Amino acid sequence: MGIPVAAGTLLGIKFADGRWQLLFENSIAEMQHELVVQQGEIAQGRQQAASSLSSMTAKLAQMRARLVRLDALGEQLTEVAGLEDGEFDFSSAPGLGGPESQSFADHHSAVDRQSDLAALFTTLDNSLSKRQMQLQILRSMLAEQELISDRTIAGRPISKGWMSSPYGMRTDPFDGEQRWHAGVDFAGRQGSEVISVASGVVTWSGEKSGYGLMVEVNHSDGYLTRYAHNKENIAQLGTVVKKGEVIAKMGNSGRSTGPHVHFEVFKNGRVVDPATYIRRTSR
């Protein structure tokens, strides 16, 4: 009886060993399959991270280029406007954060790179927002300066010509007596352009005794200018004219000895010497 029992026991042990071996082999196969799946997921993740990193790097380059252009434009506008440095100092280098000075690829994982780039994007976004705000303020200041310059009486009322008679007492060209001259005369060629020295509203465009054909422009701050002895009035009554706009053609109408424009300046209803405004430059 011992032989059959021993044989059965031995057979059972071998069967058990085969079963465990099969289970072990199956487990190894499953682990290997799982490892392959995980390796595929890791490769896919790395590919996505690399793609995302490339996209973020390209965006970073675009933002930096945009920042450089904004700085260049800001410096040009600041120079043109004649503004002092300070809050409009576009020449200062913008603050940038991000990677360390050591090798970026050797010391950072893909996740770390994305995190650092995200922080750098935030810094650049703040810089861009600040530059855009500065440019908006600068643009507003330039617009205000342009408006002030446009309504400021300054310069000569002619495009070509020369001053032929000053303001004040002079010898009258018709009777030779000393008489008061309430304006300044600019002589030139017949038909030369007569221009407005500041923006305003035309309050007279027609003939006036002694003045001949005359254009009168009402400006801001109580100023009024007159342009007389014209050959032709171009600006019509009630129209708005801009600084430097042609409002008449030089002529010899009215009490005149030759082609010229008689230029008068009034401030708060009183005539003043135009010389101060003729010499003034627009600011």
> What average pLDDT does range 4-19 have in this prediction?
52
Most confident of 9-18, 105-114, 226-235: 226-235
Question: Between 266 and 108, whose confidence is greater?
Answer: 266
pLDDT above 70 covers a percentage of the chain that reads 53
The residue segments making up the domain with residue 137 are 2-151
Residue 213 lies in a domain: yes
Distance from chain centroid for Cα 89: 15
Residue 137 pLDDT level (bands cut at 50, 70, 90): low
- The model carries a pTM of 0.53
SS3 labels along the chain: CHHHHHHHHHHHHHHHHHHHHHHHHHHHHHHHHHHHHHHHHHHHHHHHHHHHHHHHHHHHHHHHHHHHHHHHHHHHHHHHHCCCCCCCCCCCCCCCCCCCCCCHHHHCCHHHHHHHHHHHHHHHHHHHHHHHHHHHHHHHHHHHHHHHHHHCCCCCCECCCEEEECCEEEECCCCCCEEEECCEEEECCCCCEEECCCCEEEEEEEEECCCEEEEEEECCCCEEEEEEEEEEECCCCCCEECCCCEEEEEECCCCCCCCEEEEEEEECCEEECCHHHHHCCCC
What mean pLDDT is predicted for residues 214-240? Answer: 94
- In a domain, residue 157? The reply is no
For the residues 241-270, what does the mean pLDDT come to? 94
Q: Is 51 a member of any domain?
A: yes
Q: Is it the case that residue 164 has pLDDT exceeding 50?
A: yes
Is the pLDDT confidence value at 95 over 60? no
Domain boundary among 119, 151, 183: 151
Which of 120, 151, 182 delimits the end of a domain?
A: 151
Query: What's residue 173's pLDDT?
Result: 82
User: Is there a single domain that holds both residue 144 and residue 214?
Assistant: no
* Predicted confidence (pLDDT) at residue 122 exceeds the cutoff of 90: no
Same domain, 230 and 97: no
Instruction: List the CATH number of the domain containing 234.
Output: 2.70.70.10
> Do 36 and 171 share a domain, yes or no?
no
